[in-house]
Amino acid sequence: MSISNQSLAKYKLVFLGDQAVGKTSIITRFMYDKFDSTYQATIGIDFLSKTMYLEDRTVRLQLWDTAGQERFRSLIPSYIRDSSVAVIVYDVTNRTSFLNVTRWVQEVRVERGGDVNIFLVGNKTDLLDKRQVSLEESDAHARELGVHFIETSAKAGFNIKALFRRIGASLPGSDAGRGEDAANGANGGGPATVQLEAKAKPAAASACSC
């Protein structure tokens, strides 16, 4: 196991976004398929890694979870210097967190230029009646910024696998993955799903082969 792990291609993912938007929850849902509404606020940085099986190969994802507190940002750059993917999360029920996305994207671009795939993730779609940011608006904003976009609910487990599937497909040298990603109707910049899906059946994500 350790030998195969050694030989696996490793990719660094950094999770960014405002306080309490669900960065840790998304990671925990992906890692352990669990959700807890009382995760402690992340202070500083956390690290987890997981092997992911793509169509044509197996990769090791290194997930870097960061604190959302704005004042802690000065600690973050050193960790995103060599990241392949930046996952910028906002809370669809908190408009401010959505408006701050632009700053996060800028920060990543300043640090990494074009050598990074950025995913914009609107989390907490399960809180239907509290939504402050529409799918359409987010989609348009993502296109404007030139980043991938998807909505998720870590609580309901909705679209989490799809998110990571798309991340896997976006990794350098992942042609087969990219093909499948396109087959899911979710190529870069387009909405991964429609809002109705979130309402009707959160389990839809399990249709994903990952």
- Residues at the interface with other proteins (CB under 8 A): 19-20, 37-41, 43-49, 62, 67-69, 71-72, 74-75, 78-79, 96
Minimum Å gap between C-beta 198 and other proteins is 22
Strand pairing partners for 123?
91
Minimum Å gap between C-beta 133 and other proteins is 16
Minimum Å gap between C-beta 41 and other proteins is 5
Pick the closer one to other proteins by CB: 85 or 186. 85
Pick the closer one to other proteins by CB: 61 or 121. 61
Pick the closer one to other proteins by CB: 145 or 167. 167
DSSP SS3 for 89: strand
Sorted by sequence, the CB contacts under 8 Å of residue 74 that are 6+ apart come out as: none
Sorted by sequence, the CB contacts under 8 Å of residue 60 that are 6+ apart come out as: 5, 8, 9, 10, 11, 49, 50, 51, 52
Minimum Å gap between C-beta 100 and other proteins is 11
Pick the closer one to other proteins by CB: 47 or 53. 47
Sorted by sequence, the CB contacts under 8 Å of residue 90 that are 6+ apart come out as: 17, 18, 21, 97, 98, 100, 101, 120, 121, 122, 123, 133
